């Protein structure tokens, strides 16, 4: 299935049904009076987050959603039927943005979360509603109120605990394939990963976390160079960033600074997120090269650096334990803040 994380759609709720003008006409009732019923309510447009979706590809082929009009009133004081709502199911983590792509209307970040985006129009009153002691035979009835309509943007931000960032060919896809059951494309050329990938890492029966691998960043990504930085939205919700650096490339400090600059240029708070730095491909370095490059990177970043080899699994278990501890700590703090 093709991955799609943005879509523009048109939604319109239903108009309310019309009220009617009617009078009782029964054989033995001389002055029956008004008995026109009210119109029914138009259908709402409701968005719901469901767990069995992970892409917005359905909205490439269906872009217009309209709810039905409410039923018209009828004689004998009968109210028109209310129209059924249109429920639009979206993946967990979907944000609904206004047409300006800036104003956030809703964030469906939990399974089962719902939002009524467009409310159906109310039904119009029938002439029975206007009956009074001074107006015994009103002939007024109202039209139903119109529904609401708008164009909105849907933007999917994957729900993950750990976000993988790094330059192309840093070994992110290999790492994801080693630690989870995900099967991303792996090749020896840049930009092998064209769409975000998710993988679940299970350390024990009770410990697991989700890793999101996004396409590699290059210098100038925030200006649209390469694949740009649009996919960084998928790691905005992560508890920790795992910054993978290709140790065999040699210029490890420049690689780290390039990614940090792109994270800072992206407006999403990514530069402030906790970061774990891993120097990958230690199997392609001599012990002396690994030690010197690790020391240079620690000096530049001011943080400890983990040496790993995703291909041979060296250092990977220790790195996964560090990530799990950080994710557990973040989840605990989030629960305390909600309480």
Specify binding-site residues.
166-173, 191-195, 213-216, 280-283, 309-311
Q: Quick check: 337 and 307 in contact, CB under 8 A? A: no
DSSP label of 147: -
Q: Quick check: 224 and 133 in contact, CB under 8 A? A: no
3-class secondary structure per residue, 22-61: CECCECCECCCCECCCCCCCCCCEEEEEECCCCCCCHHHH
| CA nearest neighbour of 311 among 212, 178, 180 | 178
List, as residue ranges, the binding site for Mg(2+).
Answer: 173, 193
What six digits make up the tokens of 6?
């943005």
Q: Quick check: 270 and 214 in contact, CB under 8 A? A: no
Cα–Cα distance, 80 to 122 (Å, whole number)? 11
Please, what is the angle between helix 252-265 and helix 287-301, to 10°?
30
Cα–Cα distance, 91 to 54 (Å, whole number)? 5
Helix H or strand E segment including 65: strand 64-66
List, as residue ranges, the binding site for GTP.
Answer: 166-173, 191-195, 213-216, 280-283, 309-311
Q: Quick check: 162 and 240 in contact, CB under 8 A? A: yes
Query: Which of left, alpha, beta for 191 (phi over 0: left; psi -120 to 50: alpha)?
Result: left
Cα–Cα distance, 193 to 169 (Å, whole number)? 9
Q: Quick check: 185 and 44 in contact, CB under 8 A? A: no
Q: Report H helices in 48-151.
A: 58-61
């Amino acid at each position: 299935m093709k991955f799609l994380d943005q879509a523009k759609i048109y939604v319109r709720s239903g108009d309310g049904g019309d009220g009617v003008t009617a009078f009782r006409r029964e054989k033995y009732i001389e002055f029956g009076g008004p008995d026109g019923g009210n119109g029914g309510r138009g259908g709402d447009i409701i968005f719901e987050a469901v767990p069995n979706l992970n892409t917005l590809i359905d909205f490439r082929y269906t872009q217009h959603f309209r709810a039905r009009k409410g039923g018209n009133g009828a004689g004998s004081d009968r109210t028109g039927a209310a129209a059924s709502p249109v429920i639009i199911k979206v993946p967990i983590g979907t944000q609904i943005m206004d047409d300006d792509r800036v104003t956030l209307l809703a964030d469906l970040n939990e399974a089962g979360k719902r939002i009524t985006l467009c409310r159906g129009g109310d039904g119009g009153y029938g002439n029975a509603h206007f009956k009074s002691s001074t107006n015994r035979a009103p002939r007024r009835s109202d039209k139903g109120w119109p529904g609401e309509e708008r164009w909105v943007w849907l933007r999917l931000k994957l729900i993950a605990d750990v976000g993988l960032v790094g330059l192309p060919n840093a070994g992110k896809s290999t790492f994801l394939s080693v630690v989870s059951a995900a099967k991303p494309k792996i090749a020896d050329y840049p930009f092998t990963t064209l769409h975000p990938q998710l993988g679940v890492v299970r350390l024990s029966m009770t410990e697991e976390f989700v890793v999101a691998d996004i396409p590699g960043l290059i210098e100038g990504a925030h200006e649209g160079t390469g694949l740009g930085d649009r996919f960084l939205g998928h790691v905005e919700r992560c508890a920790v960033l795992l910054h993978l650096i290709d140790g065999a490339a040699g210029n490890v400090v420049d690689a780290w600074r390039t990614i940090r600059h792109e994270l800072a240029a992206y407006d999403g708070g990514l530069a402030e997120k906790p970061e774990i730095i891993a120097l990958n491909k230690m199997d392609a370095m001599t012990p002396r090269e690994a030690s010197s490059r690790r020391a240079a990177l620690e000096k530049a970043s001011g943080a400890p650096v983990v040496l790993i080899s995703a291909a041979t699994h060296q250092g990977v278990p220790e790195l996964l334990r560090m990530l799990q501890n950080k994710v557990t700590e973040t989840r605990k703090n989030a629960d305390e803040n909600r309480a």
